[in-house]
């Protein structure tokens, strides 16, 4: 079954209530598997399912226990973890930073591509993997320097992963598909385990994820997916809108259900959204959202003389809404196509004293001090984890500089050792200076003590982590390397936060009656932490949200200001610079869907803003309105002009000066 659920129509509700209905019909909880794309979405879905199942008294004393509700990557990790014997034993997971580091290391050893962006090379490798293209099958596009370097790096990157006994995020899906194809007996076990498969946000699936679903549901054909092709906006990271458009061809006999009632937006906002998406040329499903929420303000269409004026207007209007209408900052958002547009906004918001948060900043598990502690634990459990070892080998500093590390690496390569074996045998190696030898011995002692505490003394991870920070004097190093006392306190707070995560995890495991210190269980937990993605933010509090259009998907706000509605921003310049090909048309259509996503984030009021000029190379350049604005009938919008920011600031300054003079007069000043 394909449920085509428009924006604000309750996609997740469909999944959660279908799970409850399956259990009501007698399906055991452990036979149900629901997949989505972010840890946050999976957590919310699990919470909703647990509540519904408990409320309806389903599942007996076990309730919803046993249902697998996870991301595709977490599901893949579960499969590979249980089948690791077939894969050659234990493995580690590289996070995005690890992968970029590996690519940089490979690029540094090649003549070509040293100046290219490693992250862009990794994106090309990722897209190739998800299309099931091996390094040998990857064909560079003519004249594309990045593709040509990718051809060289891809094979070496895969070889590096194998030597490290590691998988990257893409492997967590691709390797499951390969394993199931190569081993029908293993596939048979998993097909019997999960008789009912459900998928949320199906429009975001890539080819590899489609293949996993086709294999898993190939026998029982019980698969229900929910999605909206109008919100397919992630082609740049491999998502393929054809997966949802061709669902009835991939899964013959499928039933298709349309959900077209929007429960989020007021009628004027929805009318604009429908007008924009109606012009799509690449969809075989035409659906127009309807709502019972009549009335509401027209969509405001603002034109500003400059980005500074645009930002100043948004900040002033938000301050007005907060002070005059008592609106909460958390109910407001500013959306934009590119992160580069945020600088002027931040300055204007600070000037108006409007609190804000920006989606897409550095996340908890990406912070240096957190990654350092996790790397120590990973090396203690798996000394072949070279990426983690490289991270901690000289942190805190212990005399093993870049030159010494390179010599250790060269010796390891020449002798067929792992890097850890070279560390252990440093006394027998030539060219290693005495400070580095002593540093290797210090590191070896620390790791050996950690292994003993974890595997023999069976201490809890929280206890071992605290012991580690004291042993390596981590707090002392943080104090010495931080930019301020406040920064040092914040960084140490991150360390304490990690201790808290371990403590809570150990309490959960003990409550289940399992051994919280088991090596296997801890490694699985460290793997799961690696999968914590950018959606794992704490509650930001009562602040305005700044986000790219891509980052806003799944969110909703009472008041939305969508800025930069100009050609070159939306649609983005990248889609306009290419020659007129089918691929270009597809790119433009994705930009249309992205604009539609931004519009449908608004519940009560929507402002669409653009600038007359933007400065390029020191000169003001006229801007053309976004082509999608032309698709909106005039009667649906209320146009207005934004005054120049400089004029407004001068007026405010003059008023302030007048008030100051009056105050001085009253005090007898001159």
Q: Are strands 613-616 and 619-622 parallel, antiparallel or unpaired?
A: antiparallel
3-state SS record for 13-30: HHHHHHHHHHHHCCCCHH
Q: Are strands 613-616 and 557-562 parallel, antiparallel or unpaired?
A: unpaired
Helix (H) or strand (E) holding 573: helix 573-576
What residues have CB less than 8 Å from 45, skipping those under 6 apart? Answer: 12, 15, 16, 34, 36, 69, 200
Which residue from 391, 415, 331, 360 is spatially nearest to 100, judged by alpha carbons?
391
Q: DSSP of 434-485, one letter per residue?
A: HHHHHHHHHHHHHHHHHHIIIIIS---HHHHHHHHHHHTTHHHHHHHHSSSH
DSSP symbol at 574: H
Which residue from 618, 651, 620 is spatially nearest to 307, judged by alpha carbons?
620
How many C-beta atoms surround the C-beta of residue 660 within 10 A? Answer: 11
With H, G, I as helix, E, B as strand and everything else as coil, classify residue 572: strand
For residues 296 and 11, give the distance between their C-alpha atoms in angstroms, rounded to a whole number.
Answer: 25
For residues 496 and 44, give the distance between their C-alpha atoms in angstroms, rounded to a whole number.
Answer: 26
For residues 228 and 257, give the distance between their C-alpha atoms in angstroms, rounded to a whole number.
Answer: 11
For residues 355 and 343, give the distance between their C-alpha atoms in angstroms, rounded to a whole number.
Answer: 15
Which residue from 363, 369, 374, 389 is spatially nearest to 528, judged by alpha carbons?
374
Which residue from 230, 248, 347 is spatially nearest to 289, judged by alpha carbons?
230
Q: DSSP of 365-383, one letter per residue?
A: GGSHHHHHHHHHHHHHH-T
Q: Tokens 């906002």 sit at which residue?
A: 269
List residues with catalytic annotation: 11-12, 200-201, 231, 601
Check: CB of residue 334 under 8 Å from CB of residue 310.
Answer: no
What residues have CB less than 8 Å from 452, skipping those under 6 apart? Answer: none
For residues 319 and 561, give the distance between their C-alpha atoms in angstroms, rounded to a whole number.
Answer: 13
Check: CB of residue 229 under 8 Å from CB of residue 241.
Answer: yes
Binding residues for ATP: 5-12
Helix (H) or strand (E) holding 598: helix 582-599
With H, G, I as helix, E, B as strand and everything else as coil, classify residue 302: strand
Instruction: Dihedral sign for Cα 106, 111, 112, 118, please.
Output: positive
For residues 150 and 302, give the distance between their C-alpha atoms in angstroms, rounded to a whole number.
Answer: 44
Binding residues: 5-12
3-state SS record for 201-259: CHHHCCHHHHHHHHHHCCCCCCEEEEECHHHCCCHHHCCCCHHHHCHHHHCCCCCEEEE
Which pair of tokens denotes residue 161? 């992963």
DSSP symbol at 624: P
Check: CB of residue 10 under 8 Å from CB of residue 263.
Answer: yes
Q: CA 356 → CA 159, 317, 334, distances in Å?
A: 44, 14, 10
For residues 465 and 376, give the distance between their C-alpha atoms in angstroms, rounded to a whole number.
Answer: 9
């Amino acid at each position: 079954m394909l449920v085509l659920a428009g924006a604000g129509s309750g996609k997740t509700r469909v999944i959660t209530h279908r799970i409850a209905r399956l259990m009501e019909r007698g399906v055991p909880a452990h036979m149900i598997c629901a997949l989505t794309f972010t840890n946050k979405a999976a957590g919310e879905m699990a919470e909703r399912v647990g509540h519904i199942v408990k409320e309806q008294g389903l599942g007996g004393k076990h309730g919803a226990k046993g249902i697998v509700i996870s991301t595709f990557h977490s599901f893949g990790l579960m499969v590979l973890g249980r089948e690791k014997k077939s894969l050659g034993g234990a493995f580690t997971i590289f996070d995005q930073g690890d992968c970029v580091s590996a690519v940089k290391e490979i690029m540094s050893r090649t003549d070509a591509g040293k100046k290219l962006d490693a992250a862009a090379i990794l994106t090309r490798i990722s897209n190739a993997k998800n299309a099931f293209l091996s390094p040998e099958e990857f064909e560079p596009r003519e004249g594309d320097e990045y593709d040509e370097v990718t051809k060289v790096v891809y094979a070496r990157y895969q070889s590096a992963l194998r030597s490290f006994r590691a998988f990257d995020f893409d492997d967590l899906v691709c390797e499951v598909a390969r394993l199931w194809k190569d081993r029908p007996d293993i596939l048979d076990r998993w097909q019997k385990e999960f008789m009912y498969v459900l998928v949320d946000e199906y429009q975001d699936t890539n080819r590899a994820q489609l293949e996993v679903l086709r294999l898993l549901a190939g026998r029982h054909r019980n698969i229900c997916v929910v999605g909206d092709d109008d919100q397919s906006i992630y082609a740049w990271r491999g998502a393929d809108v054809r997966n949802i458009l061709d669902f009835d061809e991939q899964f013959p006999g499928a039933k298709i259900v349309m959900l077209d009632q929007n429960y989020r937006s007021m009628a004027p906002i929805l009318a604009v959204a429908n007008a924009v998406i109606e012009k799509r040329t690449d969809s075989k499903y035409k659906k127009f959202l309807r709502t019972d929420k009549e009335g509401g303000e027209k969509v405001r269409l603002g034109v500003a003389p400059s980005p500074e004026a645009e930002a100043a207007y948004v900040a002033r209007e938000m301050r007005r809404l907060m002070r005059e209408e008592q609106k909460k900052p958390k109910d407001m958002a500013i959306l934009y196509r590119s992160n580069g547009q945020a600088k002027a906004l931040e300055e204007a918001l600070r000037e108006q004293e409007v609190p804000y948060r920006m989606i897409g900043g550095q996340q908890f598990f990406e912070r240096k001090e957190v990654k350092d502690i996790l790397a120590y634990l990973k090396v203690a459990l798996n000394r072949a984890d070279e990426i983690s070892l490289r991270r901690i080998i000289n942190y805190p500093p212990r005399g093993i500089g870049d030159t010494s590390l390179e010599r250790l690496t060269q010796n390891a390569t020449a002798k067929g050792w792992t890097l850890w074996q070279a560390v252990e045998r440093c006394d027998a190696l030539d060219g290693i200076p005495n400070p580095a030898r002593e540093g290797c011995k210090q590191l070896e002692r620390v790791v050996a003590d950690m292994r003993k505490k974890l595997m023999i003394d069976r201490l809890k991870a929280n206890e071992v982590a605290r012991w580690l920070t004291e042993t390596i004097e981590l707090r002392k190093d943080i104090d010495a390397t931080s930019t301020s006392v406040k920064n040092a306190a914040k960084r140490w707070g991150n360390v304490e936060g990690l201790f808290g995560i371990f403590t809570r995890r150990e309490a959960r495991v003990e409550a289940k009656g399992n051994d919280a210190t088991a090596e296997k269980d801890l490694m699985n937990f460290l793997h799961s932490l690696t999968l914590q993605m950018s959606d794992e933010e704490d509650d930001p509090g009562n602040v305005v949200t700044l986000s790219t259009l891509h980052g806003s998907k799944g969110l909703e706000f009472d008041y939305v200001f969508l800025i930069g509605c100009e050609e070159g921003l939306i649609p983005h310049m990248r889609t306009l610079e290419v020659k007129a090909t089918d691929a270009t048309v597809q790119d433009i259509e994705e930009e249309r869907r992205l604009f539609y996503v931004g519009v449908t984030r608004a519940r009560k009021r929507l402002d669409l803003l653009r600038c007359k000029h933007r400065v390029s190379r020191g000169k003001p350049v006229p801007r053309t309105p976004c082509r999608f604005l032309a698709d909106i009938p005039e009667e649906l919008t209320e146009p207005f002009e934004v005054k120049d920011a400089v004029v407004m600031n001068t007026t405010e300054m003059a008023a302030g000066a007048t008030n100051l003079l009056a105050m001085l007069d009253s005090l007898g000043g001159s």
